[in-house]
């Protein structure tokens, strides 16, 4: 039973290639649960032993060679681990487990939503059609949820104007099109989730979690997007005390193009 939980979500863009910075994050920030996306690693090759040595005894993964992949790396027990397939594609894009906050079981879902390709038209772009279908299946599934839960991950959509460096210039760019933003809002509403990052950091503030590798100086250009999210049901959201995007991690050696997103919860009263 944990009275306090620190949960971090991070698209690592290859867990084995970037193992040193994953270890750095665990040592420097000490999350209770680290949720990784785009691990690009089959389960049999996952570096579980390295995490065990750092005190993370509970590791669950859903991976495949070279693509996609999600994992949970935890200091607290992970109950009832589940991996759901979406769109009958065989992709490894979801893993879930139950953790305890105080005496309340909370279901933790870790997602890697398809990026969607370059053309925001499902009639000519199969990847974009796949993304929309994935979101539709998430919405249908979330509608049947009960109890307290958390959704984290690279959802590959920046839904608000200040979640991108230029709302006007990105309206027709995959990840910020009105169609995607509306679909994501429907998914969120189906599960009755609170976007806890924007609950604590107002939408009036620019906030990003991804910066392209293409920029010579990503920080100076600062052409980012907030693609990585943490959602919580109302009772759990009420226990959230802190959120943060670890922007500095984008500048670590051999970095991912995503920065970790942190949430800290403290058990109190779930009656609300």
Q: How confident is the model at residue 270 (pLDDT cuts 50, 70, 90)?
A: low
Q: What is the mean pLDDT of residues 55-77?
A: 97
- Residues 24-41: pLDDT tens digits? 999 999 999 999 999 999
Cross-strand partners of 104: 101
CATH (domain of 225): 3.60.10.10
271 located within any domain: no
pLDDT of residue 89: 93
Helix, strand or coil, per DSSP, at residue 6:
strand
pLDDT of residue 272: 46
pLDDT of residue 268: 80
Q: What is the mean pLDDT of residues 94-100?
A: 98
63 located within any domain: yes
pLDDT of residue 2: 79
Q: What is the mean pLDDT of residues 100-115?
A: 96
pLDDT of residue 181: 98
Q: What total number of domains does the chain contain? A: 1
Q: What is the mean pLDDT of residues 188-200?
A: 98
pLDDT of residue 245: 98
Domain of residue 261, residue span: 4-266
Total-model pTM: 0.97
Q: What is the mean pLDDT of residues 163-174?
A: 98
- Cβ atoms within 10 Å of 3's Cβ, excluding its own: 12
- Residue 261 scores a pLDDT above 50: yes
> Measured on CA atoms in the order 263, 190, 116, 205, is the torsion positive or negative?
negative
Share of the chain above pLDDT 90, in %: 97
What are the strands, taking DSSP E only, across the chain? 4-11, 33-37, 58-62, 70-74, 79-82, 94-101, 104-112, 149-154, 193-195, 210-211, 224-225, 228-233, 240-245, 261-266
272 located within any domain: no
CB-side neighbour CA atoms (13 Å) of 172: 2
Q: How confident is the model at residue 212 (pLDDT cuts 50, 70, 90)?
A: very high
78 located within any domain: yes
206 located within any domain: yes
Cross-strand partners of 132: none
């Amino acid at each position: 039973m944990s009275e306090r939980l620190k949960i971090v979500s991070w698209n690592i863009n290859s867990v084995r290639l970037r193992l040193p910075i994953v270890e750095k994050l665990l040592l420097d920030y000490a999350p209770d649960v680290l949720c990784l996306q785009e691990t690009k690693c089959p389960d049999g090759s996952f570096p579980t032993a390295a995490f065990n040595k750092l005190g993370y005894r509970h590791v669950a993964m859903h991976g495949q060679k070279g693509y996609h992949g999600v994992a949970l790396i935890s200091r607290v027990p992970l109950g009832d681990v589940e991996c759901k397939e979406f769109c009958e594609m065989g992709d490894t894009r979801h893993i879930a487990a139950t953790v305890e906050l105080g005496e309340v079981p909370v279901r933790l879902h870790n997602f890697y939503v398809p990026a969607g390709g370059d053309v925001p038209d499902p009639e000519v772009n199969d990847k974009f059609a796949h993304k929309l279908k994935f979101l539709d299946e998430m919405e249908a599934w979330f509608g049947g949820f009960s109890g307290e839960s958390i959704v984290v991950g690279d959802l590959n959509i920046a839904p608000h104007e200040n979640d991108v460096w230029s709302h006007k210039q990105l309206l027709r760019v995959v990840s910020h099109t009105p169609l995607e933003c509306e679909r994501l809002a429907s998914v969120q509403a189906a599960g009755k989730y609170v976007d806890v990052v924007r609950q604590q950091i107002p939408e009036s503030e620019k906030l990003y979690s991804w910066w392209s590798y293409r920029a010579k100086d990503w920080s100076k250009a600062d052409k980012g997007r907030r693609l990585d999210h943490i959602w919580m049901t109302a009772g759990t959201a009420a226990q959230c005390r802190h959120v943060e995007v670890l922007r500095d991690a984008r500048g670590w050696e051999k970095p991912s193009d995503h920065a970790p997103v942190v949430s800290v919860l403290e058990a109190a009263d779930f009656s609300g």
